[in-house]
């Protein structure tokens, strides 16, 4: 089972959710060899609730995922924290919506929730906590107190930071945390840049967590990852310059 733990369904936060773009993204994920993704849209994206309202109407929900003709979309969210940094939370759909609603008034920089506040609230739920791109220069997690870092379960090898993988691996060793891969796809071309190969089938959050903790998986990096990331950046930059993002 191939799964990507860090994906988006919008090109940018300013855009409304588009079901056709969602299906385009799933189609690209399939072509990249994936059987599952975690949809970790930004908590402060425009009209977050519309994503799940639409998916609830359009798709069956089985175990802990939306079923897109056999392709599994697990639910998640990408949270900003006041200290600087991003946290991925992956869980059951109602729990992800509850977390977003809790921090619906903390969407602006300077008013983001503190890491402890976020973790304290998330601990009420059975969600997987992943430190997103923790060694990225613009949004690192390396500066956080170890007591906060220890509340993370896994760390994200982001598609945009594979060149600094050694730095991430050293950080992970220090904390004793497993690494999982996430493409951070906002555009279809990014899928397949990195992916996780699970050696067993996973249908629930507990299945995913136990598989990672058992080390029953491997990370794969595309031989053309540089091309994929560069092309996606160029497309997004062009659309922004056109005033459409």
pLDDT tens column, 168-204: 999 999 999 999 999 999 999 999 999 999 999 999 9
Going by C-beta distance under 8 Å and a sequence separation of 6 or more, which residues neighbour residue 242?
Answer: none
Domain span at residue 107?
Answer: 2-241
- At 241 the pLDDT is 72
CB 85 within 8 A of CB 144: yes
CB 93 within 8 A of CB 84: no
Most confident residue range from 13-17, 89-93, 232-236? 89-93
Q: What is the pLDDT of residues 153-170, one digit of tens each?
A: 999 999 989 989 999 999
Assign residue 56 the CATH number of its domain: 3.20.20.140
Q: What is the mean pLDDT of residues 206-213?
A: 98
- At 198 the pLDDT is 98
Q: What is the mean pLDDT of residues 101-107?
A: 97
**pTM, whole model, 2 decimals?**
0.95
Going by C-beta distance under 8 Å and a sequence separation of 6 or more, which residues neighbour residue 130?
Answer: 5, 6, 87, 88, 89, 90, 152, 153, 154, 155, 156, 180, 182
- At 29 the pLDDT is 98
- Measured between alpha carbons, how far is 172 from 24 in angstroms, rounded to an integer? 34
Number of domains in the chain: 1
- At 244 the pLDDT is 61
Tokens of 185: 């796809």
| pLDDT above 80 (res 218) | yes
- Measured between alpha carbons, how far is 185 from 192 in angstroms, rounded to an integer? 9
């Amino acid at each position: 089972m191939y799964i990507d733990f860090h994906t988006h369904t919008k090109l940018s936060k300013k855009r409304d959710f588009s079901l056709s773009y969602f299906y385009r993204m799933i189609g690209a994920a399939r072509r990249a060899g994936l059987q599952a993704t975690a949809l970790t849209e930004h908590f402060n994206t425009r009209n977050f609730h519309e994503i799940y309202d639409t998916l609830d109407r359009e798709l069956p929900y089985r175990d802990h995922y939306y079923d897109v003709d056999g392709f599994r979309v697990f639910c998640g969210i990408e949270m900003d924290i006041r200290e600087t940094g991003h946290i991925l939370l992956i869980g059951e759909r109602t729990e992800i919506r509850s977390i977003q609603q809790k921090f619906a008034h903390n969407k602006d920089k300077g008013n983001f929730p503190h890491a402890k506040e976020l973790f304290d609230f998330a601990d009420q739920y059975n969600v997987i906590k992943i430190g997103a791109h923790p060694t990225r220069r613009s949004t690192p997690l390396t500066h956080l107190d170890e007591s906060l870092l220890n509340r993370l379960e896994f760390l994200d090898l982001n598609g945009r930071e594979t060149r600094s993988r050694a730095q991430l691996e050293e950080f992970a060793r220090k904390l004793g945390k497993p690494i999982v891969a996430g493409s951070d796809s906002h555009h279809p071309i990014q899928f397949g840049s990195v992916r996780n190969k699970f050696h067993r089938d996973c249908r629930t959050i507990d299945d995913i967590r136990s598989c990672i903790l058992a080390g029953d998986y491997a990370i794969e990096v595309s031989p053309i990852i540089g091309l994929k990331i560069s092309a996606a950046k160029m497309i997004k930059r062009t659309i922004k310059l056109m005033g459409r993002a």
